[in-house]
Amino acid sequence: MTDDLRASTTATFGSLSQRSLAIAVGLIGLCAGAIVPTYLASDFVLRLGSEGLLLGLLALSVAFLMNQAGLVALGAASIYGGAGYLFAIGMSDWGLSPTAALCVAFLILLVYAAMLGALIVRTNPLAFMMLTLAAGEMISHAVLLEGLRDYTGGADGLVVRVNGSVLGIDALRFADPVQFWCIAWIVTVLIGLAFWAIGRSRLGVVLRAIRGNEERMRFSGFNTFLPRLIGYVLVNVAAAIAGFLHVLNAGFVSPESLGLFVSTNTLVAALIGGISGSLGPILGGLIFSFAQDEFGARGLTQLLTGVAIVLFIVVFPRGVVGGLSSLSKRLGWRREGA
Amino acid sequence: MIALLIANSLALASLLIMLSSGLALIYGLRDVINFGHGAIYMLGAYLGYTIALVGGFWLALLLVPLLLALLGIAFEYLALRPLQRRSHIEVALVTLGLGIILGQVIIYIYGGEARSVDAPKILSGSVTVLHLSYPVYRLFLIVMGLGSCALLALWLRYTSSGLYVRAVSQDPSVARMMGINADRLSLLVTSLSTAFAGIAGVLAGPYLSVDPGMDVVMIVNCLIIVVIGGTGSIGGAIIAALLFGFVQVAGSVFLPNLAALVPYILLMVVLLIAPGGIGRGRVMS
């Protein structure tokens, strides 16, 4: 009895100190990642890196749904671009302060995601993929409607001027590449951690069980609709945050931000990094961003996007992170054997 | 007015039927939605444009389906068969990637500007039917669309290979147990589906324009139709294509401001009322 107690207390203290160590390392990593690159890298590289982080955030949302729920969303662009449009319209046409416009835009996106999700998460995964593609195209057509031209600026898009501060942060900070890198890094890491935690929570377990066999879960008395809807709304929250960060940084929104290619680029970023876990998609976004800089000038981006989808699904289905982790496991096993 | 409306929607639906029934056929056999179908249609249109410049429209209408049937055979052997054991979602994503590659290669070769194809002399101009003047080419489209629709129905209903296709679509494992070779059927169906996409591409030349965005527009329309029709149901796809054509044409007449959104509204309404689509698709839950 006392031995048990002692064992459990040492275990608790052991795991406590381990946990606090992990938290300390994590905090140092978080700060180092935010600060160190700003001294080492040029503004140009920081800008590419920030774009990569935002793409990584989007990729994270797509990968989470793929990994946990087995659903592939091809409509990430509509939330990403929609966030920028709604924010801009809220400030210029509805006369809201930047923070209020952000909150209103966020609420509208939540309602949209919940309504669309309620319609489409009931269908099978293949239909879900087709429907998200269709919904994305719907939004990109809607922005170009002649009747909405006064609001959306048609094919030209909108210039977004933010006066004052957003959520207590001076808007000028978002336009500065160094400070924006810090913001984007911290937000991305926090959301990555949040998704990691959600994946390990009850919601993640239920989602994976539904992915495995929806009918079995339904017959076991689980609600299979609500968890998928919650998952769908949650990933769209991440996509919306990426959209807000993008518009605050870039200062304009254009119909291209709603285009199908944003969605396919997101998919590619997720596939490159690997969809299991939070690290892969973010790394994938960074890789994509720098690769796009390399090949984009030659007009090869879209072609390589297609090649990457085929290559990574057929040859490297686990992506860079998954591939590296299995490689390190294999090496470790060999060392043990020798 | 109503007659014109119906004729116009039939003309549009003809193209959509050829494309979406091809999608539904492959889906029935392989459980895979070919997201590259739009790019194959685009290839058909551009090949049709080139061949029509050299040898005329009729030659294009003859040659392009044959060439694309060969492409379908390659698609079956190089993509669908090796990936048979992978999940359907992964295969669908591979077709998406292949479609992007094909589309980009076409744009690389032909450049970004839109091309136009002239209809042959017999089909240009218009005829007067029941005091209404109507372009001959659209009538030709309707005849081709309804004709291919009828041929497809006859094939599915009265031939043994058609029977096998229906059997596999209804229950793949039982059909295989009864000794149906699904691989051989799939070869036939895939090449048929790409050949139909080729015909649709050539026919689209003089009717719509031949431009770099045509693949995305068409694949999205076809996906909407396949979902409305009940994924995998060919009859449903045909009815949905007719409905889609009518709604889009009527939308551009009566709601010109919202015309671009009308197909999506139709999709949402159908999903609200019947999440499984209007046909008897076997897969939607």
Confidence tier at A1 by pLDDT (50, 70, 90): very low
Confidence tier at B285 by pLDDT (50, 70, 90): very low
Question: What pLDDT score does A162 carry?
Answer: 85
Average pLDDT estimate for B112-129: 81
Average pLDDT estimate for B38-62: 93
Give the residue among B30, B71, B108 at the shortest CA–CA distance from B201.
B71
- Report chain B's mean pLDDT, rounded to a whole number: 87
Residue type, B83: L
Average pLDDT estimate for A90-106: 91
A67 touches chain B (CB under 8 A): no
Question: What whole-number distance in Å separates Cα of residue A263 and Cα of residue B248?
Answer: 26
Range of A20-29, A168-177, A298-307, B216-225 with top mean pLDDT: B216-225
What's the CATH code of the domain at B244?
1.10.3470
Percentage of chain A lying above the pLDDT 70 cut: 93
Query: What is residue A197's three-state secondary structure?
Result: helix
Residue A4, burial from CB neighbour count under 10 angstroms (0-12, 13-18, 19+): exposed
Give the residue among A274, A270, A273, A262 at the shortest CA–CA distance from A301.
A262
Is there a domain that residue B281 lies in? no
Question: What whole-number distance in Å separates Cα of residue A320 and Cα of residue A301?
Answer: 19
- Yes or no: say if B144 and B58 are a contact pair by the CB < 8 Å rule: no
Contacts of A221 (CB under 8 A, 6+ apart): none
What tokens does B247 get?
């709604």
Is A14 a residue whose pLDDT tops 80?
no
Residue B172, burial from CB neighbour count under 10 angstroms (0-12, 13-18, 19+): middle
- Higher-confidence position of B285 and B83: B83
Q: How many domains does chain B have?
A: 1
Which alpha helices (DSSP H) does A201-224 contain, by range?
A: 202-212, 214-219
Of A123, A145, A267, the CB nearest to B257: A145
Question: What pLDDT score does A209 carry?
Answer: 92
Q: What's the first-to-final CA gap in chain A, in angstroms? A: 41
Confidence tier at B282 by pLDDT (50, 70, 90): very low
Q: Which CATH number fits domain A26-337: 1.10.3470, 1.10.287, 3.30.300, 3.90.226?
A: 1.10.3470
- Yes or no: say if A204 and A198 are a contact pair by the CB < 8 Å rule: yes
* Residues on chain B touching A299 (C-beta within 8 angstroms): 108
Question: What pLDDT score does B153 carry?
Answer: 87
A258: how many CB neighbours lie within 10 A of its CB? 29
Average pLDDT estimate for A28-57: 86
Give the residue among A195, A154, A187 at the shortest CA–CA distance from A64.
A195
Question: What whole-number distance in Å separates Cα of residue B76 and Cα of residue B68?
Answer: 12
Query: What is residue A96's three-state secondary structure?
Result: coil
Confidence tier at A333 by pLDDT (50, 70, 90): low
Is B118 a residue whose pLDDT tops 60?
yes
Distance of CA A307 to the CA centre of its chain: 22
What pLDDT digit, counting tens, does each position of A228-244 carry?
Answer: 999 999 999 999 999 99
Question: What pLDDT score does A334 carry?
Answer: 53
Residue A36, burial from CB neighbour count under 10 angstroms (0-12, 13-18, 19+): exposed
Is A117 a residue whose pLDDT tops 50?
yes
Is B281 a residue whose pLDDT tops 70?
no
The answer to whether the Cβ–Cβ distance between B89 and A70 falls below 8 Å is yes
Is there a domain that residue B120 lies in? yes
Is there a domain that residue B121 lies in? yes
Which of A100-109, A188-197, B157-166 is least confident?
Answer: B157-166
- Yes or no: say if B68 and B200 are a contact pair by the CB < 8 Å rule: no
Is there a domain that residue B285 lies in? no
Which of A68-72, A300-304, B37-41, B240-244 is least confident?
Answer: A300-304
Average pLDDT estimate for B254-271: 86
- Higher-confidence position of B142 and A17: B142
What tokens does B215 get?
């693949």
Is B98 a residue whose pLDDT tops 60?
yes
Q: What's the first-to-final CA gap in chain B, in angstroms? A: 41
Domain of B60? 2-273
- Backbone dihedral angles phi then psi of residue A299, each to the nearest 5 degrees: 70, 25
Is there a domain that residue B211 lies in? yes
The residue among B104, B110, B225, B252 with the most chain A CBs within 10 A of its CB, best to mutate, is B104
What pLDDT digit, counting tens, does each position of A166-198 carry?
Answer: 888 888 888 888 899 999 999 999 999 999 999
Is there a domain that residue B282 lies in? no
Cα–Cα distance list, B284 to A109, A130, B277, B280 (Å): 27, 13, 8, 10
Residue extents of the structural domains in chain A: 26-337
Average pLDDT estimate for B245-271: 87
The answer to whether the Cβ–Cβ distance between A317 and B257 falls below 8 Å is no
What pLDDT digit, counting tens, does each position of B163-199 carry?
Answer: 888 888 877 788 888 888 888 888 999 999 999 999 9
Residues 128-157 of A with CB under 8 A from B: 129-131, 133-135, 137-138, 141-142, 144-147
The answer to whether the Cβ–Cβ distance between A313 and B272 falls below 8 Å is no
Question: What whole-number distance in Å separates Cα of residue B61 and Cα of residue A241?
Answer: 50
Of A130, A214, A306, the CB nearest to B223: A130
| Token pair 């939070």: residue | A278
Confidence tier at A122 by pLDDT (50, 70, 90): confident
Confidence tier at A37 by pLDDT (50, 70, 90): confident
The residue among A126, A132, A307 with the most chain B CBs within 10 A of its CB, best to mutate, is A126
Looking at residue B85, the DSSP 8-state letter turns out to be T
